[in-house]
Structure 1
Amino acid sequence: MLKGMFCMRLHTAGTVIGWLGSIGSILLIIVLSSVLINVDTIVCRISTNDHVDPDAAHMMIVTVCSIGLAIVLLNFLSSALLILGTMKNRHLFLLPWLINSGIALVFSVIQSLVVLALLAQSAPAAPILMYIMMSGLGLALNIYIYYAILSLFKHIQNIRDQESRVVLQPQVAHHTESYPNYVKL
């Protein structure tokens, strides 16, 4: 397990990643909400320029933005729980972020493989190599961040286990504070 991430302690890195995720989610919520508010204007411009069916375009924009908004709201909640779990040393609060990011990593790998397969069919070698480098770098960074937060999860879990063992150890009673125990005589 990692001890730090990008020259930061794991707790600091968890807080930074949580805040970056929360801020990014808030910005995306604003953008997607403004698209949903102005969907009629967007459909009018698309249908006049591209001769697209306005009803189909309206339905597509509303569906995609609504699904995107739901995903971004889940990401915001998981990032907020990451911040809270890091600050309060509650390892279970990190689980939503780990699950959310794990699913995103799986979809990212699948998407990269599909795009790579499509590029390999028709594109020359230079764009393929550029895509491999850029997607590989992005995946490596995301895996490193995921592993750091997983290390933070394990670290907090170990700390909580040690604290619970200390609390559960029997306390030695002083002879002045308790009555003698005659049962074991």
Structure 2
Amino acid sequence: MLKGVFCMRLHTAGTVLGWLGCIVSFVGIIALSAVLINVDTIVSHISISPPDQDAAHMIIVTACSIGLAILLLNFLSSVLLVLGTMKNRHLFLLPWLINSGIGLAYNVIQSLVGLSLVAQEASAGPIVVYVVMSGLALALNIYIYYGILSLFKHIQSIRDQESRVVLQPKAVHQTDSYPNYVKL
């Protein structure tokens, strides 16, 4: 397990990544909401024939609605990441880990599909650039995921130790008497 992420302690990295996720999700929610509000204006500015405008309207509304739902889930999981990190509650980190795990799987599939599409139509130069860029992005996402997973395991071990201390029965040699410094 990692001891830090990006030269920060795990708790600091969890808080920073959670706040960054909240900010990015909030800005995305505002942007997609603005697109949904102005979808008629956007469709009228696209130079397509009138029968196709209904289809374009439906595609934009559907895509923005799905994106809005994903951004709301990202926002909630980022808020829970911040709260879980600050309060040392490992179960609050689970929504972020599940959400990011699904995102990682999607990124791997997207990279493979993109690579196959680029390989069919391009020469070796764009293929190498695509492989390097998608590989770096995937490696960064895996590193961040592994860092938050390390934070999850760290908080979980701390909580387990605290629960063992609290639930630990009294030792046999202890008695219910006053401490030694009180006795005269």
Q: Shorter-chain TM-score category?
A: over 0.9
Deviations 1:103-144 (A, max 9, x none): 000000000000101111110111000000000000000000
What is aligned with 1:163?
162
What is aligned with 1:51?
49
- TM-score (norm. length: structure 2): 0.92
Residues 1:68 and 2:73 are matched in the alignment:
no
Deviation at residue 6 of structure 1 after TM alignment: 1.0
What is aligned with 1:25?
25
> Is there any run of 5+ residues in structure 2 with no aligned partner, and where?
179-184
Instruction: Output the amino acid matched with 2:143.
Output: Y
Structure 2: how far apart are the matches of 1:104 and 1:79? Answer: 14
Listed as ranges, the matches of 1:76-91 within 5 Å are: 76-91=75-90
Structure 2: how far apart are the matches of 1:121 and 1:61? Answer: 28
Deviations 1:3-60 (A, max 9, x none): 00111000000000000000000000000000000011001111xx133611111111
Aligned length: 175
What is aligned with 2:124?
125
Structure 2: how far apart are the matches of 1:54 and 1:133? Answer: 38
Deviation at residue 171 of structure 1 after TM alignment: 3.1
> Is there any run of 5+ residues in structure 1 with no aligned partner, and where?
178-185
Instruction: Output the amino acid matched with 1:98.
Output: L
Deviation at residue 176 of structure 1 after TM alignment: 3.9
What SS does the corresponding residue of 1:23 show, helix, strand or coil?
Answer: helix
What is aligned with 2:10?
10
What is aligned with 2:134?
135
Moved over 6 A (4+): none
- Aligned-pair identity in percent equals 74
Structure 1: how far apart are the matches of 2:85 and 2:92? Answer: 8
What SS does the corresponding residue of 2:15 show, helix, strand or coil?
Answer: helix
